Chain A
Amino acid sequence: MRRRPYLLLEVVVALGLVALCALPLLRPLFAATRHELKIASALHLQLRADQAFAEVRQQLYNNDIAWTALRKGRPYTGNLPDLGFTFKISEQTKFRKHTNTGETGATYRLLNITVTSGDQSFTYELFAERIYPSVAA
Chain B
Amino acid sequence: MKLLEALVALILTAGLLTLLLGSYLRATQTHNLAGQELWPAIEEHALHQRLTQLITNTSATDPHVSCDGQTLTFIFHNDVDDDPQFSAEVVGHLALDSHNRVVLTTWPSPHRWDVPNLPTRHETLTHASTLTFSFFEREEGWFDSWQRDELPTLIKIKVGDFNQTYALPNANKPVRYRK
Instruction: Identify which of A39, A57, A131 contacts B177 (C-beta below 8 A).
Output: A131
B163–A51 CB distance below 8 A: yes
Interface residues on B, range: 35 or more
Taking CB atoms and an 8 Å cut-off, the chain B residues in 111-168 that contact chain A are 136, 138-139, 141, 153-154, 163-167
B12–A15 CB distance below 8 A: yes
| Any A CB within 8 A of the CB of B80 | no
CB-CB < 8 A to B141: which residues of A?
62
Instruction: Identify which of B23, B28, B138 contacts A61 (C-beta below 8 A).
Output: B138
Q: How far is the CA of A33 from the CA of B164 in the complex (A)?
A: 28
Q: Determine the residue in chain A with the shortest Cβ distance to B2.
A: A5
Q: Determine the residue in chain B with the shortest Cβ distance to A107.
A: B177
Q: How far is the CA of A62 from the CA of B172 in the complex (A)?
A: 15
A108–B174 CB distance below 8 A: yes
- Given known contacts A33-B34, A61-B153, A108-B174, is B1 in contact with A131 (CB within 8 Å)? no
Q: How far is the CA of A57 from the CA of B10 in the complex (A)?
A: 68
CB-CB < 8 A to B164: which residues of A?
47, 50-51, 54
| Any B CB within 8 A of the CB of A19 | yes
CB-CB < 8 A to B23: which residues of A?
23, 26
| Any A CB within 8 A of the CB of B13 | yes
If over half of B's interface residues share one DSSP class (helix, strand or loop), that class is named, otherwise mixed; here it is helix
Known pairs A8-B5, A29-B28, A47-B164. 16 more at Cβ < 8 A?
A5-B1, A5-B2, A11-B5, A12-B9, A19-B19, A26-B24, A29-B27, A43-B42, A47-B44, A47-B45, A57-B175, A128-B176, A129-B176, A130-B178, A130-B179, A131-B179
Can you list 28 A-B pairs with a CB-CB distance of less than 8 A?
Answer: A5-B1, A8-B8, A12-B12, A15-B16, A19-B20, A29-B24, A36-B35, A39-B38, A39-B41, A43-B41, A47-B45, A50-B165, A54-B166, A55-B165, A57-B171, A58-B154, A61-B175, A62-B138, A62-B139, A67-B177, A128-B174, A129-B175, A130-B178, A130-B179, A131-B177, A131-B178, A131-B179, A136-B179
**Which residue numbers of B lie inside 8 Å of A, CB to CB?**
1-2, 5, 8-9, 12-13, 16, 19-20, 23-24, 27-28, 30-31, 34-35, 37-38, 41-42, 44-45, 48, 136, 138-139, 141, 153-154, 163-167, 171-179
**Which residue numbers of A lie inside 8 Å of B, CB to CB?**
5-8, 11-12, 15, 18-19, 22-23, 25-26, 29-30, 32-33, 36-37, 39-40, 43-44, 46-47, 50-51, 54-55, 57-58, 60-63, 67, 108, 126-133, 136
